[in-house]
Structures are given as structure tokens and as C-alpha cells.
Chains A and B, each alone.
Chain A
């Protein structure tokens, strides 16, 4: 199992997906900080209209505009953008048609939602179109404005559909402005500039979804990046004790002797409690190791991120970013 590879270092668009609730948003933010470390400029994008980035960084909702939201060690900066499909559609229509005030009225009435219901692919094409524009944008010096872009993407169940712009276009008009734009998006998403990372937990369903997603990405000719294993609990037992303990065999006499040596004189009830806790710990460790083995079938670079017992605040994002940097993210 390898960590971050050279190939991943070359990617400029990092798409972060995973089963719902596994930590996509959290890890995408930490990844943005890690990539910015050492003085780079990174853009973190969300597309589901939930203002998750603002919540995570504990600030007011983001407008539909790029804003600097954090600094990274070594002079790096992270900017953020919440792409709103409705705003993107109106922006897009406005480039080609003069909608005037009607645009806003239509929006209020739910017309935009309706248009995207009619053609669900439309929403995705608009969102990925905007992402591409950010990735490719250059400054006055001709260099890319952002060294890297991190996308907090839809969950694994929907991500391939989301990224498979070619398929989505099949539902849409065969000619017209959107067609031309989408060809550039297809090129970007299928190139070495893009990597699709998957956030997983060491539990049955997230692991299964991760492996399914890898297969689906491969089939759609999209490139799986790394598996980011989130919320990994510390393994406290020595490796050789795990499997015996998981079978319920914990040498209580030896534990008692050790505790006495440390000056702890515990009653029988507490000792039994400690033994039960140890057995549960061992069973969990074992099932997590099995999950890890299953994940390694994907043959992808893997990075483990620790469970943070006190929950995730802005400081915790920096902690996770450090773990990523230590694993070679740059």
C-alpha cells in the first residue's frame, strides 16, 4: 500500500467523493489546506447548495463568488466557492440571452429547479462547467490562478453520473453553446489533471461503496485517485494479542498483575469491565483490519486519517491537513 504518488502530485483537480456522511466535506477542506501548505493557492469548491464549507469554517454563508477563507502554513491560501446550480444556469443563460429581470422572477417561481428536473444532466453540466473554468483560469502572468482545485463532490452513488458529462450531454441539445463548453470539461475530467479520491470508513457499507465506486470510475474512464480512510481509531493492543482477545480470551491474571505493578488495586467488577472493554476493542480492531484488507483490493494509494474524539473544528482541519502532508500530499 502506497501513500500519495507522483501521479497524484501532478493532478490539479482533486475530486473528493465517498458514501454520505463519511467525511467528504471535512477531508476535502483538509486536503485543500494540505495542498496549499508551503505557499500555494488552492480553491475549495462545493456544489450541493448546502453551505457546508461556510459551516465547517464557522463563517457566514458564502456568496456565489470566490473568497479567501483560510491561510495555510508557509504562506499558502485557501479560497472557497459555493457553486449554486441555479445561479450558474442564470449566469450561463445571461451570456447568450438577455433575460433581464425575468431571470430573478423565474428563479423565485422555481423555474430553474424545474428546468433541471426536466434534464437532470443539465445541473451537472453547469456545475462541472464552472469547475473547469476555475481550474483553467489564468492570471495576467499567464499562469494558472489556482495551483490546485479541490471539489467536495456528490456522494459515491451519484458521483460517476455527475462527472460523466458525455452521458449527460446525450440528454441535452446536440448543438448550441453548452455543447462546446462541455467538450472542454470532458477533456479535463478524463485527463491526468484530475483525480477522484474516495473517502471511506472501515465499515461494511462504506467499504463496499468505495470498491463499487472504483469499478464504476474505471468503467467510465475516470481516474480513481487515493482512498482516504477516515475516522481511524487507534489500535491499542499489541498485534499478537488482537486475535486471541477478539475470541474473548484476555489473560485477566496478567492484566491484574500489570495493574498492580502500576499501583492500581482494582476490584473484581472493574477488572471484568476492563476485560470486556478489551474484547470489544479487539473485535472492532479485527473488523477494521478486515475492512482495510478489502479496501486494499482496490490497489489505490491509501491514507489514514484519525478519529478526532473532540469533533471537528477549524483547528482540527489543520490537524488533518498535517496528517495528509506527512503522507506526502503536496
Chain B
């Protein structure tokens, strides 16, 4: 039997220090993160929630009007939590810049920040957002001002990206190619050159014909300036990664009751277990449970057909049909979730019904929070 995911004990436990909400795109990670943080604050904890790309109205409801990369206390009329709630939106570019500023001297930092290649990497390389989310999490932990940090993850296709992307970015920044392409003569990878032989210099030539000499020059300057601080970068990412494995951290996997989202959730659950990372459980978001549970769909449809034939009672006919639709959706969702729990019987689960409209204010978040807690 699958256990029910119980959030309140988790949120109340002072040993719970970091909750990471993961899942594939659009399933409700940001909403869940915000709702959990709000609930924890109302139950008395001092909480900060790190959101990434929240829907605009949701951001506004938390008092976030712009990216300012620092947590702000949520001050909203009528909101008087027992604890405290802080919120912020990740600004990946600023986070990256700050990181460079911390690790490099002023002059060198300026040189890096103005390098076109750095600008590309820091704003559009896939993986930067994940890396910076981890970096920011590391900073929030280090600041030690909150007793619970709830983290949202970037809207990537795959939940695994959150764990893998930082590694990918480090590999590129630290890679042999970047060294060879930018300064082949200086390259230390003699063995590598031997394997690839003349193919490599051909490749370099070809690539520079395509991308142009300027870009290679920029890349080279960047690598030279960046080299000395890279160790610091990698260590930091490594430390945050370790943090994700520590006892105070828990992962909340969010999925919609749809095949793709549940498949992603499956991969992620398996990965967490392989990495010994602590999983709290699965949130099955936006489900459509039947409310009038005693009326079977077939019976409702037959009656609706009767009414339609007689032309009487169009309202009742409509009610019967929308009920039958809902039963069909709920059945499918139940089947899909059952498939997940069969494969992962040990994973605790809680379903959160779809609210009829988007969630964009504190009341909506509070409602989601209640559902998360199984109220």
C-alpha cells in the first residue's frame, strides 16, 4: 500500500531545513513550492522560498515585482503568519555575475563580465539556470537566516536536468576543448591530440572558418581569465550537491497525472534513490477527483440522453454530462497513478485537485497548501 505523503509533520520538524520541488515543466513546481512555504510560515517557521520564473500574477501576490535577486519579506494586507515568509525570484545572470565578482579580483572580474563569450554562457547556455539555482541555494544556506528554505527548480523538460546541468556546464567550462581551441599550443592534453591527430587541427580550422576568429579569441581570453577561479566554481557546485544529500534536505517530486509527467517523475525517483538523496514523496498535482462519487458515468449519460430526447431540463442534462466527463478524467488519472505506485510502492503520495482557476493569490496558495496537507 502506498503511504500518504504527510506534509505538516515535515514542515513542523525543525530538522527539515531545505525542501526542493522538482518535476517536469508546467506541472506546478512553483505553485507547490510557494504553497508549502506559505503553509510552513503560517505554522510558525521562518521560511524563504526561492522561485524561478513564476507566473506574473503569482509573483505579484508574493509582493515580487521584479527580479532583485534578494529575499524580501512578504508583506500583504491580512497576511499575519505565526512565523515569517520571505520570497525571491532567481536572476540567473546576476547570480552568475555575483559569483564572478566573489571569486575574481575587481579587474579580472570586469574583464570576464564584459567578455562576449561570458555573456553567452551566463545568459543562454542550457544548464546555467540550474547551476545558478544551486548556487543561490548554497548562498541562502550559508546566510543561515532562515530555518526552512523551499526551492523551486527551473522549468526544464526533464526533472533530472536540475541534477545534471551544473555538471554539464562545468564540463564545458573546464573541458579540454576549450583549452585546445583557444590555445592549442598550450594545451596540456597531449594524449588527446595524439588520438585525434590531424583531424583536430582540421576541425579547429573548420570551426574557426565558421564561427569566425573573433569568437575564438573571446573564448580564449575568457578561459585564461576564468581558469584561475574555476576551481572555486567547481568546489562550490560540489558542496551544494553534497548539501542536497544531507539529512536536512528533502525532495518533493511534483507531477501531473499524465503519462509524460509521471514518466519523468519515475526517472527522477529512481535517480534520487541511486544518489542517496532523500525523497519526501510525490505530489500528484491537478487531479480531478469525482465529487458525486455515487453516480456512475454510464447511468448519468443514459439519463442525459433521455432528457435530451425529451428536450426537457437542459440544465440537468448538462450537469449529468459534465459529471460523466469528470468520471472519465478521474478514471484515467487513477489508472495512471496506479501504474506509478505499482512501480514505486515505497513512495508516499498526495493528490492535489485542480482548482477551477489558476492559482495567483495567497488564498489560492493557502488552498493548495491545505490540499497538500491532506485537509
Contacts and interface: CB of A to CB of B under 8 A. Distances in A.
B356 interface: yes
B124 interface: yes
Given A115-B207, A205-B358, 20 more contacts: A20-B157, A96-B206, A97-B205, A97-B206, A98-B202, A105-B196, A106-B199, A118-B181, A119-B215, A172-B210, A172-B215, A204-B55, A241-B315, A258-B316, A262-B320, A266-B292, A273-B291, A273-B293, A281-B356, A283-B357
B160 interface: no
A214 B108 CA distance: 41
Given A111-B203, A172-B212, A274-B292, A204 B57 contact: yes
B318 A238 contact: yes
A257 B316 contact: yes
A196 to B, nearest CB: 20
B211 A102 contact: no
A269 B292 CA distance: 7
B325 interface: yes
A267 to B, nearest CB: 7
Contacts of B304: 262
A19 interface: yes
A210 to B, nearest CB: 14
List 6 A-B pairs, minimum CB-CB distance, nearest first.
A102-B199, A258-B316, A258-B313, A273-B292, A283-B356, A262-B303
B172 interface: yes
A208 B292 contact: no
Contacts of A279: 356
A64 interface: no
A99 interface: yes
B227 to A, nearest CB: 17
30 contacts: A20-B25, A21-B25, A98-B202, A100-B199, A102-B202, A102-B203, A106-B200, A111-B177, A114-B181, A115-B211, A118-B117, A122-B210, A173-B208, A174-B212, A176-B209, A203-B358, A233-B325, A234-B321, A236-B319, A237-B322, A254-B313, A259-B303, A261-B310, A262-B317, A266-B292, A267-B294, A273-B291, A274-B292, A274-B295, A287-B358
B145 interface: no
A120 B198 CA distance: 25
B197 to A, nearest CB: 7
A176 B210 CA distance: 7
A267 B360 CA distance: 36
B319 A172 contact: no
B306 interface: yes
Nearest to B329: A309
A258 B310 CA distance: 11
Contacts of A241: 315, 318
Contacts of B329: 309
Contacts of B322: 236-237, 277-278, 281
B268 to A, nearest CB: 16
Interface in B42-82: 55-57
B125 A117 contact: yes
A19 B26 CA distance: 9
Contacts of A109: 177, 192, 196
B175 A110 contact: yes
Given A120-B125, A236-B325, A257 B313 contact: yes
Interface string A31-62: 00000000000000000000000000000000
A103 B317 CA distance: 66
Interface string A250-277: 1100110111011110110111111111
B332 A276 contact: no
Contacts of A178: 210
B306 A262 contact: yes
Interface in B182-210: 192, 195-200, 202-203, 205-210
A20 B155 contact: yes
Nearest to A48: B157
Interface in B296-344: 299, 303-304, 306-307, 310, 312-323, 325-326, 328-329, 332
A238 B197 CA distance: 74
A207 B163 CA distance: 30
Contacts of A118: 117, 181, 207, 211, 215-216, 219
A171 interface: yes
A223 interface: no
A190 interface: no
A173 B175 contact: no
Given A101-B199, A205-B55, A264-B303, A269 B294 contact: yes
Nearest to B256: A21
A258 B56 contact: no
Nearest to A93: B206
A271 B320 CA distance: 11
B316 A311 contact: no
A204 to B, nearest CB: 5
A102 B213 CA distance: 22
Contacts of B260: 21
Contacts of A119: 210-211, 215
Contacts of B356: 279-281, 283-284, 287
A99 B206 contact: yes
B178 interface: yes
Contacts of B358: 203-205, 287
B291 A20 contact: no
A261 B303 CA distance: 9
Interface in A59-114: 93, 96-103, 105-106, 109-111, 113-114
B357 A287 contact: yes
A26 to B, nearest CB: 11
A273 B321 CA distance: 14
Contact of B316 (A234, A259, A287, A309): A259
A274 B325 CA distance: 12
B259 interface: yes
